[in-house]
Amino acid sequence: MTPEYELTLVGGVDDTGIVSGSGGRSERSDVADRDLVESVLRELSEAADKWEALVAQAETVTYSVDLGDIHAVANSDGRLLELTLHPGVMTGYAHSELADRLNLAIAALREEAEAENQARYGGGLK
């Protein structure tokens, strides 16, 4: 049951009336506020679901490069998922040559990711 308050005008015409509700707010206003909050929460939940779907989709995207002696695969987060070296790489290259080949493979992965990002979203990677 809604509490009722008695208001009396002082210094004017002596008049007394009964007001329903608490704090001067009507129940209709409380319902409207509740509906607004539920609507905003519903929209946020839908947006979160869409974002989770986009993230799940992005996690399945991989980029790969095969240089013949080095094969590398990375995901859209930049994590190297696979690196396969031809057996002759370890003995056939000096340390600096191997480093150059690995850097070349990683640069190729980045170029592939940048090209796809440009095609999908119209902008470079950040």
The tens digit of pLDDT for each residue in 11-59 reads 555 555 555 555 555 677 788 888 899 999 999 999 999 999 988 887 7
Task: Choose between 104 and 13: higher pLDDT.
Answer: 104
pTM of the model: 0.56
Whether 82 has a pLDDT exceeding 70, the answer reads: yes
Count of CB atoms situated within 10 Å of the CB of 93: 17
pLDDT at 95: 92
Percent of the chain predicted with pLDDT > 70:
75
Task: Choose between 121 and 125: higher pLDDT.
Answer: 121
- Output the average pLDDT for the chain: 82
